[in-house]
Amino acid sequence: MRSSLRFFAMRLAGALSAVLGASIISFVVLRAVPSDPARLILGPHADADQVRALSRSLGLAQSLPEQYWHYISAFVQGDWGYSFTAGASVRSIILSRAGATVELALISFAWAFSAAVVLALLVTYRSRPLLDRIARGVAFAGLGLPQFWLGLLLLLVFSHTLGVFPGPEGRISPSINPPASVSGLYTIDTLLALQPATFFDALWHLALPSFCLSFFSFGFLFRLLRSSLLEMGREPFLLVVRGKGMSRWAAFSRHALPNSFLPTLTASALVFADLLGGSVLVETVFDWPGLGQFVVQSIQRLDYSVVQAFILLSAVAYVVVNLVIDGLYGILDPRIRLGRAQ
Partner 1 sequence: MTASTRVEDARCERPDLGPVLAVDGLQTHFVTKRGTVEAVRGVGFALDPGERLAIVGESGSGKSALALSILGLIEPPGKVVAGTVRLAGQNIEHLPDRAMQRIRGRRIALIYQDAMQALDPVKTIGSQLGEALRLHGGALSRKAARRRAIELLREVEVPKAAQRVDSYPHEYSGGMRQRVVIAMALANEPDVLIADEPTTALDVTTQAQVLGLLDRLVAERRTAVILITHNLALVAEFCDTIAVMYAGRLVEQTSTERLFAAPQHPYAQALLAAMLRSDRLETGPLPSIPGSPPDLVALPTGCAFRARCHVGRSLADCAAIDPPLAAVREEGRVACHHPSEART
Residue 171 or 255: the one with the smaller Cβ distance to partner 1 is 255
Q: Which stretch binds partner 1 (CB under 8 A): 169-177, 189-197, 238-246, 289-297?
A: 238-246
Site string (184-223) toward partner 1, x via CB under 8 A: ----------------------------------------
Q: Which stretch binds partner 1 (CB under 8 A): 8-16, 44-52, 80-88, 256-264?
A: 256-264
Residue 191 or 262: the one with the smaller Cβ distance to partner 1 is 262
Q: Which stretch binds partner 1 (CB under 8 A): 61-69, 75-83, 188-196, 245-253?
A: 245-253
What CA–CA distance (Å, rounded) separates 273 from 283? 16
Contact (CB, 8 A) for 208 and 155 = yes
Tell whether residue 332 is a contact of partner 1 (CB under 8 A): yes
Per DSSP, the three-state class of 146 is coil
Contact residue for partner 1 among 132, 242, 265, 330 (CB under 8 A)? 242
Residues 6+ apart with CB under 8 A from 282: 104, 147, 148, 151, 209, 212, 213, 288, 292
Tell whether residue 244 is a contact of partner 1 (CB under 8 A): yes
Question: What minimum distance in Å lies between the beta carbon of 244 and partner 1?
Answer: 4
Q: Which amino acid is at 72?
A: I
What CA–CA distance (Å, rounded) separates 193 from 180? 7
Handedness of CA 268, 274, 278, 281 (dihedral sign): negative
Tell whether residue 120 is a contact of partner 1 (CB under 8 A): no
Tell whether residue 247 is a contact of partner 1 (CB under 8 A): yes
> What's the distance, Cα to Cα, between the start and end of the chain in Å?
12
- 3-state SS, one letter per residue, for 76-106: HCCCCCEECCCCEEHHHHHHHHHHHHHHHHH
Q: Which amino acid is at 189?
A: D
Contact residue for partner 1 among 240, 287, 324, 340 (CB under 8 A)? 240
Name the residues that contact partner 1, by CB under 8 A.
127, 235-237, 239-248, 255, 258-259, 262, 332-335, 338-339
